[in-house]
Amino acid sequence: MKIAIWQTQSSHCDYTANLARLDSALQEAAGQGASLLITPEMFLSGYVLNERTREMAETFPLAALQALAGKWQIAIIAGGPLAADGKVFNASYFISSLGEISGIYRKTHLFGELDKSQFTAGDQPVCIIPCNGVNIALLICYDVEFPETVRAAANAGAHLVAVATAQMKPFDFVNKHLIATRAWENQLYVAYVNQTGQEEHLEYVGLSLVAGPDGQVIAQASETQEQLLYAQIDPSQVIQAQRDNPYLTDLRTDIL
């Protein structure tokens, strides 16, 4: 399956502008034969919402997002706030190429005071959506920095872990070193899709990437440019890599 990762900058609190730009990105990705487009963390709304958090969650344009997926017949992972149970969550929405809601993941590990002041942490550790023969697990930003999250996805049968992120300075070591390590130690693909530019006090580091089951980087974006990059995801490569390097089965779970 061919995926597209879209490194871009949100228009802050402007659903209309972000949907229009997403429309263009989907057209390009569909034209290149991609089956899935992954956007950064909180792309549709912007990340620093503060007092507008609940307003943006309650007006989240889910129907418009579904319409775009159906229009271009391409699946979308798009980030934004989710209002549910009287709370607001930092969410990734998985919309199928038919425009149907296939899954919604709520960020389980909140980073810093900004995240914690805006959102409630989710409590579902693994969210896997099958798409074109590929099992895709959803994580958001800080989640992937804990090895247990990716290991749980691998043990549940994920071939690809799709991580929407808004990674900022000075934490670019995550992009440069940690993501490929997560792919290697679980023998699966990891797509890490970041914002660019500046938002309020945050300066994003870009450097979106896709790493393969062998730990090699397949696609890598720059620090500052908006880019639409592509990668092929092959489940057979995951199966073979897990046979060749059997961390998952060799782990001594009886003593750990």
**Token couple for 160:** 């690809």
Residue 203's domain comprises: 2-244
107 is catalytic: yes
Catalytic residue, chosen from 41, 127, 145, 199, is: 41
Q: Is residue 142 a part of any domain in this protein?
A: yes
**Token couple for 207:** 């450097």
CA distance 150 to 140: 11
In tens, the pLDDT along 175-221 reads: 999 999 999 999 999 999 999 999 999 999 999 999 999 999 999 99
Q: Is residue 202 a part of any domain in this protein?
A: yes
Catalytic residue, chosen from 55, 71, 87, 107, is: 107
The pTM of the full predicted model, rounded to 2 decimals, is 0.97
Q: Is residue 157 a part of any domain in this protein?
A: yes
116 is catalytic: no
Catalytic residue, chosen from 127, 141, 145, 199, is: 141
Q: Please report which helix (H) or strand (E) contains residue 153, including its range.
A: helix 147-155
Question: How many domains, the chain?
Answer: 1
141 is catalytic: yes
Q: Is residue 141 a part of any domain in this protein?
A: yes
**Residue 238: pLDDT over 90:** yes
Q: Is residue 251 a part of any domain in this protein?
A: no
Q: Is residue 121 a part of any domain in this protein?
A: yes
Q: Is residue 136 a part of any domain in this protein?
A: yes
Q: Is residue 182 a part of any domain in this protein?
A: yes
**CATH number, residue 77:** 3.60.110.10
